Structure 1
Amino acid sequence: MLTVNLLVIAGCIAMAVLTTDTDGNPDGVCISLAVILTIAALFNFKGIMQLEPNEAMVIMFFGKYKGTFTDTGYYWVNPFLTKKRLSMRARNLDSEPIKVNDKAGNPIMIGLMLVWKLKDTYKAMFEIDAQTVAQTGGNTSIGAAAVAGVMKAFENFVKIQSDAALRQVAGLYAYDDNGNETEALTLREGGDEINQQLEDKLNERLSMAGIEIVEARINYLAYAPEIAAVMLRRQQAEAIISAREKIVEGAVSMVKMALDKLSDEQVVELDDDKKAAMVSNLMVVLCADEPAQPVMNTGTLNH
């Protein structure tokens, strides 16, 4: 069709030149016909479109949806059709951390990263408010700037819905178990299960706009600054207590083993007082933060 239009325009120019008489006066009928054909050829240029891989062209005829082109190539369609180009390529969204309250009511900072793309062009164009998708009329809507504007509007829509979904998921779970074993799943340890729930919530919210979530995951998680110091001290205290429990458990096991070994091999006979003193000394040595300082007893066992 492009070749035909160019030939028509060239023929109109040739007609205007060749129909001029010897006095240089053009033929009025031929000139009028040439002008009409030139205008028609130029108008036909509006029907030419080209699609690249992972692009789609939504076609409307006086406001009525007629279909969507997705095949790559070079096409000519009715110039009276309105064409709107959409990108079907995957896009990233790296959301800034937002402050929310977890299940326990603690303020936390949480952020997400997701990969999304358009899946249903009809929903994308007609299920969202026209102002939201920056809808424009006529052939100007297929230009690169128009495509960027429409996709930017979709990005804003995805960002708002992702923040809402993130707040919803964060409110269902505690940041961590806080020593409470009944918390089977937490934001800090949930991992893939939390990410899957976030992806499901996003798909529920964005399916109305024909948008598909390829991947979604939490990429930032921390206590809010106003309670971070307090929570850090609590975590440090829990770590110290847990470590002490392990130390005491090991020390008791070693003391018992020592007493049993001495008794089984009859190395020495110890009464209850001697055993108590030995247990006390061993527990001090094994549980102390600093290395024990040995003291030599130069007297008898009883002094």
Structure 2
Amino acid sequence: MSAAPHAPIAQQESGVVKGRVDIAERPAISAGSGAAFLVLLLLLGIFGLSIAAFITGAIAADQGEPGGVSRLVVGSVGLAIPLLLFSSFVIVAPGQTSVRQFFGRYVGTVRRTGLVLVPPLTSGKKVSIKVHNFETNEIKVNDLDGNPVEIAAIVVWQVADTARAVFAVEEYEAFIKAQAESALRHVATTHPYDEPGPGETSLRGGTDLVSAELAEEVAARVAIAGLEIIEVRISSLAYAPEIAQAMLQRQQAGAVIAAREQIVEGAVTMVDQALKRLEADDIVSMDDERRAQMVSNLLVVLCSDQRTQPVVNTGSLYA
């Protein structure tokens, strides 16, 4: 008989990621600071009376007085009960929670702050629900065009479900760091670094869209651990050193071409305005050949990288 196939490690149902440890946070039975202080005072009173009963009972039993053994037993029980119940008091600071277990069984999470009264004989693990952030390692990946780039991101997160964070994964802080780098690697490979095609978003030009996509993917990966992603932002983005110089030259060439296009466009506009002004004011009459010569000279003067040297022509253009 063949063995039954193993169940999947994690599955997603109705937008909720579920793993082998199917658990969710629930509130633990607890009382606030007021009730805790009253119980504490009561236990201290019982503890003091028990000490007195134990001492007087021991003295009476040693002297053979009647009732000494009874007082000794009552004092011993009275001492044991407060000592046992003292484990019911925990202090929870703001931004912290206490995940309670009763002999290995999860019984709830305490989110009250201050001195809190919890069920006796329960153990607790403190879990911070403050906002955390970390920066991923700078990883090298190939973008959509196959160019190697180096990229890193800052992840802002907090624990939303304390039970999942403690019981569903081994170490939730190490878990989110590994999953964030994995998601960053995947998202970087689905976008070009620059010059996106139709319907594409580049890593450099669409930072907000890429960051939102990255946040969604990281959130989906860490939902199994009860973690909430607040924000993910790309903190470092550059071409890998082996192609950085070549890409810089390409960018510089593109900038030079764009500048030249603007210079030529401006020069043509100025030449057109000059010719129209000369003809409108009837300053000089030019045929097509003289017009072409003037256009050529003006374009050379306006588009040249260096200062032009004027040449005075004393002869005729047709000589």
Q: TM-score, normalised by structure 1?
A: 0.83
- Deviation, structure 1 residue 157: 1.3
- Partner Cα separation in structure 2 for residue 181 and residue 276 of structure 1: 41
Distance 1:23 1:189, change over 3 A: closer
**1:189 counterpart residue number:** 205
- Partner Cα separation in structure 1 for residue 112 and residue 61 of structure 2: 53
**1:161 counterpart residue number:** 179
> What does residue range 235-254 of structure 1 map to in structure 2 within 5 Å?
235-254=251-270
8 Å contact kept, 2:53–2:74? no
Secondary structure of the residue aligned to 1:244 is helix
> What does residue range 65-104 of structure 1 map to in structure 2 within 5 Å?
65-104=106-145
Q: Aligned to 1:280, which of 292, 296, 302?
A: 296
Tell me whether 1:50 sits opposite 2:91 in the alignment.
yes
Q: Aligned to 1:5, which of 43, 46, 55?
A: 43
Q: Aligned to 1:18, which of 53, 56, 61?
A: 56
Secondary structure of the residue aligned to 1:296 is coil
- Partner Cα separation in structure 2 for residue 191 and residue 22 of structure 1: 83
> What does residue range 134-149 of structure 1 map to in structure 2 within 5 Å?
none
Q: What amino acid is aligned across from residue 120 of structure 2 in structure 1?
A: P
- Report the count of equivalent residues: 278
Secondary structure of the residue aligned to 2:204 is helix
Q: What amino acid is aligned across from residue 154 of structure 2 in structure 1?
A: M
Secondary structure of the residue aligned to 1:166 is helix
- Deviation, structure 1 residue 121: 1.8
Q: Deviations over 1:196-244 (max 9, x none)?
A: 1111111111111111111111111111111111111111111111111
> What does residue range 148-297 of structure 1 map to in structure 2 within 5 Å?
154-177=172-195, 182=198, 184-297=200-313
8 Å contact kept, 2:56–2:71? no
Q: What amino acid is aligned across from residue 78 of structure 2 in structure 1?
A: L
- Partner Cα separation in structure 2 for residue 32 and residue 71 of structure 1: 38
**1:38 counterpart residue number:** 79
Distance 1:22 1:158, change over 3 A: closer
Gaps of 5+ in 2: 1-38
Q: Deviations over 1:236-291 (max 9, x none)?
A: 11111111111111112222222222233322121222122111111111111112
- Deviation, structure 1 residue 60: 2.7
Q: What amino acid is aligned across from residue 233 of structure 1 in structure 2?
A: Q
Q: Aligned to 1:127, which of 168, 179, 184?
A: 168
Gaps of 5+ in 1: 134-153
Q: Deviations over 1:164-211 (max 9, x none)?
A: 11111111110000xx65364211010211111111111111111111
- Deviation, structure 1 residue 22: 10
Q: TM-score, normalised by structure 2?
A: 0.79
Q: Which moved more, 1:106-115 or 1:22-31?
A: 22-31
Distance 1:34 1:165, change over 3 A: same
Identical positions, percent:
40
Q: What amino acid is aligned across from residue 82 of structure 2 in structure 1?
A: A
- Deviation, structure 1 residue 21: 4.4
Q: What amino acid is aligned across from residue 82 of structure 1 in structure 2?
A: S
8 Å contact kept, 2:54–2:76? no
- Partner Cα separation in structure 2 for residue 31 and residue 182 of structure 1: 89
RMSD over aligned CA atoms reads: 2.3
Q: What amino acid is aligned across from residue 7 of structure 1 in structure 2?
A: G
Q: Deviations over 1:2-27 (max 9, x none)?
A: 22332233223222333314977895
- Partner Cα separation in structure 2 for residue 224 and residue 183 of structure 1: 25
Q: Which moved more, 1:287-296 or 1:61-70?
A: 61-70
